A and B are shown apart, each in its own frame.
Chain A
């Protein structure tokens, strides 16, 4: 539950009680034993009383549209008010583009609010105006480059409106800003699978032959290895390497084709980044063993898979004490006598 930072309890809005003199407000009815009692301000009670009244009466008008703003400003997480705002806006054939602009302002204050992002998506199913969506996400990410909601919205917008061109550049830029931005690496992975491999069922899927899969994965691993030079202990990069080496599609073919060179490319990093290099190598060798690969195909220095894997995990027990029990659990046991 991502909560928002503190905000004003009563905000200046255009709620004008004199506009509502013809409406009988519907009072709040908390039960006799309110638990987790809430400190409702008089203003809160008042605007909600009118909203309850117009929901009951079914009035759809511009004053109701403005009233929902007053309610939402009391409580940006009030999903009922947001829903009603959408319904009214569409019923009065209001200006959706203006609404999207106004909501973008609210996102600056509440960038992790589920209802606001959802409101945009719902409105955009009615009015396919997408030109500003990436700009809205850019603005949010410029303040917090790991905002989970913003990235989710970007993925949705890119797929829904076919905006994938130019996105690799954006992902690359965010990665260059911060090599450790796991969200940016995750986004790049999503782009490659969507655009280059046609694997995303929400976008256009297509059949890509296994040779192309291997070629794309190889290219992406090489890209990742470049970043490893500058940040050899970077978990995000190690995860990307394993992610492309052991993908869901054509897993065995890709792995067998690429594992030997990837393992060899990782060896030089063992000096500077012992824990991560050893962990990734151990995972590669364990998988190679599972797939029945030949030990001589991989840089094991003549050791058997089992000896090499166990030696790596034994080292990890020493080097990475907080995970000692985990590394020990991965040791390959001696066969029972």
Chain B
């Protein structure tokens, strides 16, 4: 296993601690399902899911299903139990996406997902302009669009949404610099560019946008030491995933799979942002580590084939391609 200077073992230990042992601060409660996904993604990209104890994995699966929201309350999955059971907690687009991906990583076949309820959730959260909200009353932007597209793909629920309206919204988000913002008129941004390109890939509509200009925007994110997310901003390890995976997606779309057009010194940059003692990866050397940067750095390195720690990920989804139930 080619891992270079990346200490996978320490990152896995940190993820396991957060999954099963350590208590996380309560500020993470509304994003608990996302944290779960990042922890599992880290273990998965390190190739270590099968090393987790079976009853612990079953426990994760049960906990996730306990967050499933009945159709009468809106369908989909919630983040945590805190506001659950009082009839106000709808499913959230990103929590639904993270729940499904987490189940897949744990080897679940999604048979207990109430697809009809998730379809209701998707209909509730698609906005008139074709984009998606987090919840029926929540904010709308391309992050939620991406969450909805992943959900549609995993459960084959494309008939629940207006695909053409979604595609047109995505097209309108491409900025003058080739990158994508989270709304039309928003600044081209690495994270939003991934959300748009991956959504378009899932929708089968990458040719509806200017992929050559998108590639230029992404390529220009490279510094000698990591990717940044916007012009004239500093490098941040999470763009290893957002920018790196976007580039990989575009290369595959061109039929140039595996070709990486830039050398941003990513292995070295990510390695330097590791916490050598406790594990985990930070956005840069001046900041503390967190699971988001840990998971995204490692998945980004894998998608750019700079590490060889696990079988290939599905570039559009953020999990092992082989784990996705057919």
Contact = CB atoms under 8 A, between A and B. Distances in A.
Interface of A: 1, 3-4, 6-7, 9, 26, 28-41, 44, 48, 51-52, 55-56, 74-81, 83-84, 114-115, 117-118, 122, 146, 148, 151-152, 155, 180-183, 186, 189-190, 193-194, 200-202, 234-236, 239-240, 242-244, 247, 283, 321-326, 329
Contacts of A117: 139
B82 interface: yes
B273 interface: no
B26 A55 contact: no
Given A31-B62, A35-B19, A55-B86, A9 B26 contact: yes
A148 B187 CA distance: 8
Nearest to A286: B212
Given A32-B62, A194-B185, A200-B185, 9 more contacts: A36-B35, A38-B23, A40-B29, A76-B27, A114-B139, A152-B183, A180-B232, A244-B176, A322-B264
Main secondary structure of the interface of B (DSSP, over half): loop
A322 B224 contact: yes
Nearest to A33: B59
Contact of B81 (A28, A74, A181): A28
B89 A234 contact: no
Contact of A7 (B27, B60, B187, B223): B27
A318 B84 CA distance: 59
A39 B177 CA distance: 44
A141 to B, nearest CB: 13
A38 B32 CA distance: 8
A160 to B, nearest CB: 13
Contacts of A202: 184-185
A323 B215 CA distance: 12
A148 B143 CA distance: 14
B292 interface: yes
- Centre residue among B39, B86, B215, B223 by max chain A CB count within 10 A: B86
A112 B20 CA distance: 30
Given A35-B20, A75-B26, A182-B230, A29 B176 contact: no
Contact of B219 (A78, A81, A326): A326
Contact of B231 (A77, A115, A182, A244): A182
A168 B85 CA distance: 50
Interface residues of B, number: 71
A292 B143 CA distance: 39
A81 B137 CA distance: 12
Contacts of B30: 75, 77-79
Contact of A26 (B86, B134, B139, B265): B86
Interface string B204-225: 0000000000011001101110
Contact of B27 (A4, A56, A200, A234): A4
B233 interface: yes
Contacts of B216: 283
A-B pairs, top 5 by smallest CB distance, nearest first, are A243-B176, A33-B59, A39-B23, A326-B261, A239-B177
B175 A186 contact: yes
Contacts of A148: 182, 186-187, 189
Interface string B244-277: 0000000000000001111111000000000000
Contact of A35 (B59, B185, B219): B59
A81 to B, nearest CB: 8
A79 B63 contact: no
A181 B137 CA distance: 33
A329 B247 CA distance: 14
